[in-house]
Amino acid sequence: MHYAGVTTYYRFLRRSLHVATDGGWLFYAWMLVLTAVALVGANAWAVQVRDGMVRTNMTDHVSWGLYIANFTFCVGLAAGGVMMVIPAYLYHDHDMHEVVIVGEVLAIAAIVMSTLSVVVDLGRPDRFWHLIPVIGKFNWPVSMLTWDIIVLNGYLFINLHVVGYLLYTRFRGRTPDPRWYVPFVLLSIVWAISIHTVTAFLYCGLGGRPFWNTALLAPRFLASAFVSGPAFILLVLRVVRVGTDLPVNPGPSRLLVQIIRVAAVVNLLMLASELFTLFYAGGSHLASARYLFFGDHGKHGLVPWIWSAIALNLIGTGLFFTPAALERGWVRPVACACVIVGIWIEKGMGLIIPGFIPSTLHEVVEYAPSLTEWKVTAGIWAFGLLLLTAMLKVTVAVFTNQMAEPVEAAGPGPTTGS
Amino acid sequence: MSESKKVSLPVLGEVDRRTAVKAGAATLGLAAWAAAIKPWFEWTAELNTDEFLQKHYRELSPEQLQAILNRLTDDARKETGKAVTVKDHKPLPGVSFAYALNLSICIGCRKCAEACHVENNHDRPSHQSYIRVFEMQKGGIDFEKGDATYSHPVPAKDKYYMPVQCQQCENPPCVTACPIEATWQESDGIVVVDYYWCIGCRYCEAACPYHARRFNWEKPQVPAAEVNPNQSYLSNRVRPQGVMEKCTFCLHRTREGRLPACLEACPTGARVFGNVLDPDSEIRWVLENKRVFVLKEELGTKPRFYYFFDK
């Protein structure tokens, strides 16, 4: 019996690998482009490790840049998937339950991207083992970074378990046992909130950085994550509906649009509240915001970024409020693209970078990412999308019962199910 | 789609061809991957396995530490041709260091920053130093009106000068931030970094309110002739690439009873350094008799670096 279990699992993995690498011309072209970009990124990173972080445009004044900016966004993306889980499991929305796995799969890819974004930011990735509890020296519970490592890895494993369990049981033609996954799904709801809260605490816990040192940071992170996450899922659902045989009802997407409507307004409201406090009260807390929005000491590097973000967020939110956003048309993907790019800027170039400008001693040293940083970041996205595509292929195949082996290949081993 | 085609007829050739193409693609992919990350291996080839497996400084046995110091000394001698010694200076019992700076007589000449640069084997091309001297506008202590990049004769009219370096906080935010305890405070108050333990995440640099920490963005370059041969494990030995470093109050000097290099270089005598636990020390006299203040007191970091005006 035990032996049969192992071979069945092996067959599942083998079939998954097959399904994940099999498709039409468009699929191969997509995977080829992603692989190429990922390789360019890997090469840029290897060169950066060899030559030093001098390959980036970071300095002792702006000591975190595009990598940590992208990290922050990706954590939000991972947390955003919970906005499918809550309706599916807490409100028993049947249609959402059918496609909720898409959100969990996205969470896995997004967590991998956030982890990679931190790894490429390390000056000494060869000493990664120092972070491993017990064999390294894990400064828990004092350092917020250790909390972040725990919650991000925890979230990854919870989602890997849920997705893996659901796919494998369906592959075997069995009904998933709720005891084996519902508790983990419920845990993942709390955990999703925690990953983005702790990520905000990384920044807002620093007393020396007034721009980040605000209690509103974690709520803002969550609100914007509940826009960018569902928006990304809407795009994925569109691709799944158009490109695969998986039936996708209109209900879940409409619900996600409704969620985005609320979260986007809350996000903009909190942004306005933050800006009012900064600009009306003035003082030293204002320095970064003034530089970010209007420039300071004749330097304006971030001004185009932040106004693009504000424009994109406003346009995207406006589009989501049109009735057309509830229908299957072009309005919805455009709105999604607007808020995804808008929030990517708002959380990165518009939040991480100005935390360093001016510096803690009020020196204005500007920062714009180097080509190496762009290549590495593009590589991380390409790798994340590769992973996402492969996992979605398997998911769709399992859910549409297309995992069966070609007839001839069936050998003398144990038969499916029992 | 392609799946159904395969199942419908026993066209083994099609399946085999696809498998062959996939295997070919996978091989190509692996080869491309190996080529892409080749620079990584060029870098690791230069690394030392002992260094990679080395334990945290505070977990090394005296023998292990001695072996490391010997290795570092040998390597440095080979590289520079000079009689370099890398020692390990431990904090002295009954000592708690503090620093005070007289803003009334500092003229902003940056001799302290230069001395730090030489003493601590800083990277030459970037002209790194642990000290930044700000030219400040009289009438307030406002860094927004300060300038650390001035290049004119000093002292300038209506200006005063404020050198800033590590404040060796009693409550250091950088130590709290570090995820792996690669930086800590020693019993004499000096905050140090284990250059062989730091992973270079730079969270401490984000946490420091005084812009006191520096990162080695590339391998520091110090011409052999200019290397300061009196080195210490936790302070001025030439740092590896990709790790943090910071002012250590020149512990390789001060723990031997000497004064920091920045103090010795100061032409006006603006700097006062010593053991606050010694009632007869000059630093104690300054702290007791001058109206001293610390930077960003409201943050609760409790600096050991004091400033005062004389007149």
Helix A217-243 vs helix A331-347: angle between axes, to the nearest 10 degrees? 140
Nearest CA-CA distance, residue B265 and chain A, Å: 24
Domain ranges within chain B, ordered by starting residue: 97-308
Q: Does residue B183 have a pLDDT over 70? A: yes
Give the three-state DSSP class for B134. strand
pLDDT for residue B136: 98
Q: Does residue A416 have a pLDDT over 50? A: no
3-state secondary structure B31-81: HHHHHHCHHHHHHHCCCCHHHHHCCCHHHCCHHHHHHHHHHHHHHHHHHHC
Nearest CA-CA distance, residue A105 and chain B, Å: 23
pLDDT band at B14 (very low <50, low <70, confident <90, very high): low
Contact B209 A46 (CB under 8 A): no
Q: Does residue B4 have a pLDDT over 70? A: no
Please report the number of interchain residue pairs, chain A to chain B, with beta-carbon separation below 8 angstroms.
186
A138-170 confidence digits (pLDDT tens): 999 999 999 999 999 999 999 999 999 999 999
CB within 8 A of B17, min separation 6: which ones? Answer: none
Q: Chain B within 8 Å of A94 (Cβ-Cβ)?
A: no
Q: What percent of chain B has pLDDT over 90?
A: 87
Contact A52 B216 (CB under 8 A): yes
Spell out the alpha helix ranges (H) of A52-177. Answer: 66-80, 82-85, 94-119, 144-171
A197-211 confidence digits (pLDDT tens): 999 999 999 999 999
Distances (CA, A) of A173 to A219, B3, B228: 42, 19, 72
**DSSP string across A184-248:** HHHHHHHHHHHHHHHHHHHHHT-TT-TTT--TTHHHHHHHHHHHHHHHHHHHHHHHHHHHSS---
Instruction: Classify burial at A86, counting beta carbons within 10 Å of its beta carbon; exposed 0-12, middle 13-18, buried 19 or more.
Output: middle
Nearest CA-CA distance, residue B256 and chain A, Å: 30
B144 interaction partners in chain A (CB closer than 8 Å): 284, 287, 358, 362
Q: Does residue B1 have a pLDDT over 70? A: no
Contacts 24+ apart (CB under 8 A), B16-19: B18/A22
B33-64 confidence digits (pLDDT tens): 999 999 999 998 888 888 889 999 999 999 99
Q: Chain B within 8 Å of A284 (Cβ-Cβ)?
A: yes
Nearest CA-CA distance, residue B4 and chain A, Å: 9
B131-171 confidence digits (pLDDT tens): 999 999 999 999 999 999 999 999 999 999 999 999 999 99
Q: Does residue B3 have a pLDDT over 60? A: no
Q: Chain B within 8 Å of A116 (Cβ-Cβ)?
A: no
Give the three-state DSSP class for A282. coil
Q: Which of B226, B161, B197 is nearest to B55 (CA)?
A: B197
Interface of A with B in 318-377 (CB under 8 A): 355-356, 358-363
A409 interaction partners in chain B (CB closer than 8 Å): 15
Parallel/antiparallel/unpaired status of strands B132-137 and B97-102: unpaired
A163-199 confidence digits (pLDDT tens): 999 999 999 999 999 999 999 999 999 999 999 999 9
Half-sphere exposure of residue A113: CA atoms within 13 angstroms, side-chain side: 31
Half-sphere exposure of residue A375: CA atoms within 13 angstroms, side-chain side: 18
Of A225-234, A307-316, B8-17, B183-192, the least confident: B8-17
Contact B216 A60 (CB under 8 A): no
Distances (CA, A) of A5 to A171, A409, A418: 13, 19, 11
Cα dihedral angle (A52, A53, A59, A60), rounded to 10 degrees? Answer: -70
CB within 8 A of B253, min separation 6: which ones? Answer: B119, B259, B260, B261
Nearest CA-CA distance, residue B159 and chain A, Å: 17
| Domain B97-308, second-level architecture | 2-Layer Sandwich (3.30)
Domain A5-410 has CATH 1.20.1630.10: yes
Q: Does residue A360 have a pLDDT over 90? A: yes
Interface of A with B in 52-81 (CB under 8 A): 52-54, 56, 58-61, 63-64
User: What 8-state DSSP symbol labels residue B111?
Assistant: H
Q: Determine the Cα–Cα distance for residues B48 and B74; give it in Å rounded to an integer.
A: 14
B7 interaction partners in chain A (CB closer than 8 Å): 404, 406-407
User: What are the residues facing B137 on neighbouring strands?
Assistant: B159
Q: Are A166 and A181 in contact (CB under 8 A)?
A: yes
Cα dihedral angle (A49, A54, A56, A62), rounded to 10 degrees? Answer: 120
Most B CBs within 10 Å: which of A115, A144, A363, A367, as the mutation test of the B interface? Answer: A363
The answer to whether the bond into B155 is cis (omega within 30° of 0) is yes
Give the three-state DSSP class for B230. strand
Q: Are A18 and B10 in contact (CB under 8 A)?
A: no
Q: Does residue A418 have a pLDDT over 50? A: no
pLDDT for residue B292: 97
Q: Which of B191, B188, B133 is nearest to B165 (CA)?
A: B133
Q: Determine the Cα–Cα distance for residues A388 and A383; give it in Å rounded to an integer.
A: 9
Half-sphere exposure of residue B93: CA atoms within 13 angstroms, side-chain side: 0
Q: Determine the Cα–Cα distance for residues B251 and B232; give it in Å rounded to an integer.
A: 8
Contact B200 A42 (CB under 8 A): no
Q: Determine the Cα–Cα distance for residues B128 and B108; give it in Å rounded to an integer.
A: 17
Q: Determine the Cα–Cα distance for residues A196 and A83; give it in Å rounded to an integer.
A: 14
CB atoms within 10 A of CB A396: 18
Mean pLDDT of A387-395: 96
| Whole-prediction pTM | 0.94
Contact A408 B148 (CB under 8 A): no
Q: Chain B within 8 Å of A382 (Cβ-Cβ)?
A: no
Torsion-angle region of B22 (φ positive above 0: left; ψ -120 to 50: alpha; else: beta)? alpha
Tell me which residue in B38, B181, B300 faces A139 most closely, judged by beta carbons: B181
Give residue for tokens 């004064």.
B259
Q: Chain A within 8 Å of B305 (Cβ-Cβ)?
A: no
Parallel/antiparallel/unpaired status of strands B191-193 and B183-185: antiparallel
A206 interaction partners in chain B (CB closer than 8 Å): 173, 177, 206-207
B134 interaction partners in chain A (CB closer than 8 Å): 361
Tell me which residue in A54, A402, A404 faces B217 most closely, judged by beta carbons: A54
Distances (CA, A) of B135 to A201, A284, B104, B110: 34, 19, 13, 11
Q: Chain A within 8 Å of B161 (Cβ-Cβ)?
A: no
Q: Are B197 and A347 in contact (CB under 8 A)?
A: no
| Helix, strand and coil percent figures for chain B, each rounded to 5 | 35, 15, 50
Straight-line distance from the first to the last Cα atom of chain A, in angstroms, rounded to the nearest whole number: 10
Most A CBs within 10 Å: which of B2, B6, B40, as the mutation test of the A interface? Answer: B40
Domain ranges within chain A, ordered by starting residue: 5-410
pLDDT band at A2 (very low <50, low <70, confident <90, very high): low
Q: Which of A68, A180, A170 is nearest to A113 (CA)?
A: A68
Q: Determine the Cα–Cα distance for residues A314 and B210; give it in Å rounded to an integer.
A: 37
Contact A143 B177 (CB under 8 A): yes
Q: Determine the Cα–Cα distance for residues B231 and B248; give it in Å rounded to an integer.
A: 12
Q: What is the ipTM of this complex?
A: 0.93
